[in-house]
Structure 1
Amino acid sequence: MVIPVSVQAQFVSIRLELPAGIHFNAQMLDPMEGGTWENSKAKIWVGIESQENLTLLLDLEYPEGEILPAPEAYFLNDGTNDFEKALKLIQGSHELLMNSTALLIQNLDPRPTHIQAWLGLPVLNGITIKLEYP
């Protein structure tokens, strides 16, 4: 006996909250229509919010083997969501500051309630991202 089954896919939004005032919010963003949005190769932008200007240690590893086009990851920490200005990350370890100004949150003017940065990641099976913070 054969029973027909209908299957549907659904995008999942992930929000991960960790101690020390760090929040992660994964968002699926579409490339801007009609633009040359080069950084749209990173399909998932993960918003990172902190209550202080922390240093993050990021270890980025892609699966073994040749992948064409080469996967690209990005980091944006200028307080905006202008992904065109994001820093391209290569495979390996990176030391990243939550805000590009090397100031404590109490010394920023105007003083924000939190600092936000963005991590742009390719949709890729086998990618490994390790993120550490103090």
Structure 2
Amino acid sequence: MYKLKLLFNKIESLILLLCLFLIVTIFMLQGFVKTNNLEAISYKAKNQNLLNTYMKKGVIKLKLQNNKEYEEVEVLVNGEVAGNFKDKQITIEVYNNDIIEINSTEYNKNLKVKILKTSDNIKLPKINSIYNIKGTLDILSRVIIK
């Protein structure tokens, strides 16, 4: 029994020395590892014009051309609700490459949505374009800013 305890004590000492040796080795190796200091990231874009195009904002005014008010018809920009046609018209703010969608799933009627007005910097959708929608979630247009 005494010999077994002595054996366990020696094994424990060996394991402890091995752990201590490994910890010291790791700290020494960390000193040799080449570390790159974190540098401040500059916000200057290589192509400033491209950045400006993506940051430009435009405004689009949509009108529901049906006689009734359809309050449940929603306008979505990039999948998020931007408003509804409570007053038969809605004005939304958009950026380049935004996707405008109309959710008319509450109604099973033909609805006509017209692009009444856009800001001068918007290339698409075109003014006076009319879109027919019937009880679905339809993509109206992708926004392209000049």
Q: TM-score, normalised by structure 1?
A: 0.32
Q: Which has the higher contact order (CA 8 A, sep 6+)?
A: 1
Q: Which has the larger radius of gyration?
A: 2
* More helix, by proportion: 2
